[in-house]
Chain A
Amino acid sequence: AQKVTQAQTEISVVEKEDVTLDCVYETRDTTYYLFWYKQPPSGELVFLIRRNSFDEQNEISGRYSWNFQKSTSSFNFTITASQVVDSAVYFCALSEMGAQKLVFGQGTRLTINP
């Protein structure tokens, strides 16, 4: 069975600090896809990144970076020099190849204080 765990329910940091959001997943498939979504206060989940199981290269996009490690079944998300606009709920999700749906983690509420 597939499962995604985000153990951090809430994180609060001061602006300009770096912060890492953890995501651990379980799947029996060798081919799968991992996602991160951001949900700002407006409510709509916004796609951030998709990574397939064969691509373990880390990804960097501006202040955002993602560390995918199959050995530990983790797909962690780091925000460097955090800003107040980064405050949101962040969800990690998994889709096995051939599946119609995503399985989401519980979400991490990130608060960046000025």
Chain B
Amino acid sequence: DVKVTQSSRYLVKRTGEKVFLECVQDMDHENMFWYRQDPGLGLRLIYFSYDVKMKEKGDIPEGYSVSREKKERFSLILESASTNQTSMYLCASSQGGGFYGYTFGSGTRLTVV
């Protein structure tokens, strides 16, 4: 079964910590995405990558960075976590353009205290 795997289901971190959220896909997909999900705001795109070492800013990149050293792995980094980054984070992958649709991971619920 094809999968997008996010390393943690729940995380609790302290304000100011550096946080890494990991995502791995086994489908040889070109594109990978990080979204943030908040009540009433839907899914908002943070960053995406269409190739190894390539990245593009999404709609809300401030406070985040990403890394894609290998095709199958896409990491989201919170350089200095803040309480307003408490959210559900969803990783997705796609084999090409958006018209293919996405395969999603199960999400990481991050709480910053």
Contact = CB atoms under 8 A, between A and B. Distances in A.
Describe A's contact surface by its main secondary structure. loop
A73 interface: no
A104 B104 contact: no
A47 B35 CA distance: 16
Contacts of B64: none
A98 interface: yes
Contacts of A100: 31, 48, 50, 56, 94, 97-98
Contacts of A102: 98, 101-102
15 contacts: A33-B101, A35-B101, A43-B9, A43-B107, A45-B92, A47-B101, A50-B99, A95-B97, A95-B101, A97-B99, A100-B97, A101-B31, A102-B102, A104-B42, A106-B42
Interface of B: 9, 31, 33, 35, 40-43, 45, 48, 50, 56, 58, 88, 90, 92, 94, 97-99, 101-107, 109
Interface of A: 6, 9, 33, 35, 37, 42-47, 50, 52, 91, 95-102, 104-107
